[in-house]
Each structure stands twice: as structure tokens, then as C-alpha cells.
Amino acid sequence: MQYVGFTLRNNLFVAPMAGVTDRPFRMLCKRMGAGLAVSEMVTSNSLLYGSAKTRRRADHAGEPGPIAVQIAGADPAMLAEAARYNAERGAQIIDINMGCPAKKICNVMAGSALMQDEALVARILDAVVCSVPDTPVTLKIRTGWNRSNKNAVAIARIAEDCGVRALAIHGRTRADQYMGEAEYDSIAEVVRQVGIPVIANGDIHSPEKARYVLDHTGADGLMIGRAAQGRPWIFREIEHFLSTGEHLPAPPVSEIHQICRVHLADIHAFYGVETGVKIARKHIGWYTRGLAGSSAFRRAMNQLGDPDAQGAAIDEFFGRLAEAGGSFDRAMNETTETLRELAA
């Protein structure tokens, strides 16, 4: 896929998710078939550039390009400064967050709250695009502020006029948060109204749903977020299905064990022992959810305080699954069938 001047493996994108899409997760998803992974939000507040948390969010060392960094804020000048700061440090694509529905973001008129003020949106986009003339700028939005005020088309037109090169749209309003089901009619209308690439996002959790969303919206690509948590191989599953119309077999327990172990090692190395152990817990929970004995396993896992203990517990858990004769594969297949039914 050709995207804002770069050649990507495919049209499947990893959604930027706060606390999730760190460098280990982005690199894992790319290995598993994602064409592009966008970083979690980096604040536009220059006072925070020096914090360890912000430095980690902007750390792309060793990551295959193109490097896409998402910035968030409400002040045009500060966002322009943040864009320059990240471009000077290797960002090849600057993405602006106008889609986050979190209260702490919207309460300072950032994220999806910005969609209420189209004039401010225009000032922000113009300032950022002008600040990094050699770096493509993209935008992430929702369908609107609430269901009575859906203005994705208006925002998309503003973005195109300001020189934004591509747009990702989550099929919910800010008021919807992540409740209910995503709708794709609004995304389809944006596709009809603008000439820049549009990436559809929201509730894409199976190969069939991916096919449906592409066909329904006419979007240029798909952005996948929560469905990849604990299931990063969803990208290769969708890639294969879109290319062939056939399903890949569920990954064997031995491969999932290896993926989990490598991911945990990357997390521990990236964050250090204390923080790494805490970050790893949620990923372990996602890898094991829905499997026999996983609730008790997670409770015990949350009491472990060092990487070696976490690794040993993972080895034991997946070892028991392997001894049970492929129960992991059966669970994965049952989950996949459920998702197919929901997508039908």
C-alpha cells in the first residue's frame, strides 16, 4: 500500500492506544503482519518532554519505519512545537489526536473534545502542517462529539484543506466512548467527500468484519486496536483472509507461548524490572483471557514481583495447556467462531 509517501506491507494499521502501543507492542504487531503502527499519545506540553514516560513514548530505537508519532493537545503553537520536536528526533509521520474520548484529555479540550470547535481544529492543523513541511501529517478523529452532532465530514474537509495527508476515523462519537457498536455509514460518507486516504477504525475483530468494513465504507485501510490486545496475530489473519478469502489455522499453543515470552522479555528490557513487571501483567491477562483456569492464574500472576517469576509462571501455564492436548487451540477456535457470528 502507498500511504503518505511510504510503501507499506498492507493497509492494516495498529491503533494508537494509551498504555498499550509502546515500542515492544508496535514491533510485535509489525512482525505479526501490521503495515503501520502509530505510537501512543505524546503530550504537546514542552515541560514534559524531559520526563521518562514521555521519552519512552517517543522511543523508536530499532523499530522498522515508517515511524509514526501521535501528538495531543489543544494549543496550536504547542502542538506545532511538539511536531517539530518529534520530527527532529526521527518521526516520519506526525499524527494528531482528535479521537481520544478520555475525560482527562477532553476536560482540557484536547482529543475528541476538539471536534466541538471547528475553527480551532483548522488553526491546529494549519499550524502543525506548516511546522513540519517535509513530514506528512495525519489526523485521528471520531464521527462527532455526540450522536446529535456528527461532524466528521466537516472536520475531514478542513483537514484536507489544511494539507493533512490522511485521516483515521473511529466509528463512534466521543459521547459513545467504547460503548455499543461502531457505525460505518459516517466513515463511508467521509470517504465519498474527501480525496485523501481514509482509514476505518472501530470493532474490527475478525477477518470477516475487516472485509465487511472495507466493502461498506470504501476506506483505504483498517485500524485495529483492542482486538489486537493479547492477539497480535490478528493482523496476519486479516491480511491472509483479504488476500485469499481463506482462514489461517489458529496458532498452536507452542507459538502463542513463544510470542508471549518474547513480548514479555521486550517489555522487561524496555521498562526495567519494576515498571516492566507491572506493564507485563495486563498483557499476560490479555494473552490468557477466556482460557480454562486463566482467572486463578491471573490472580496469582499479579502477586509476582520479578521477571523470572513471571516467565516461569507463563511456562507452567502454557505447558499445562499443551499437556491437555491442544485446549488452547480449541479455545482460540471457539473465540474465533464467536467473533464470526457477531460479524455476520
Q: List the catalytic residue out of 100, 106, 162, 260.
A: 100
| Residue 338 pLDDT | 37
- pLDDT for the residue 335: 39
* pLDDT reported for residue 135: 98
Q: What is residue 269's three-state secondary structure? A: helix
- Bridge partners (DSSP) of residue 168 are 140, 199
pTM: 0.89
pLDDT, tens digit only, all 344 positions of the chain: 999 999 999 999 999 998 899 999 999 999 999 999 999 887 766 555 666 676 677 678 889 889 999 998 889 999 999 999 999 989 999 999 997 755 555 445 566 789 999 999 999 999 999 999 999 999 999 999 888 889 999 999 999 999 999 999 999 998 888 888 999 999 999 999 999 999 999 999 999 999 999 999 999 999 999 999 999 999 999 999 999 999 999 898 889 999 999 999 999 999 999 999 999 999 999 999 877 778 888 888 889 989 999 999 999 998 888 887 654 444 444 434 433 443 34
Give the ranges where the chain is alpha helix by DSSP (H): 23-31, 52-57, 76-88, 103-106, 118-131, 152-162, 185-193, 207-217, 234-244, 253-271, 273-288, 294-301, 307-323, 327-343
Three-state helix/strand/coil letters over 224-241: ECHHHCCCCCHHHHHHHH
Distance, in Å, from the CA atom of 57 to the CA atom of 93, rounded to the nearest integer, reads 15
Task: List all residues 6 or more positions away from 53 whose beta carbon is below 8 Å from its beta carbon.
Answer: none
So what's the pLDDT on residue 341?
A: 42
259: cell is 510470542
106 labelled catalytic: no
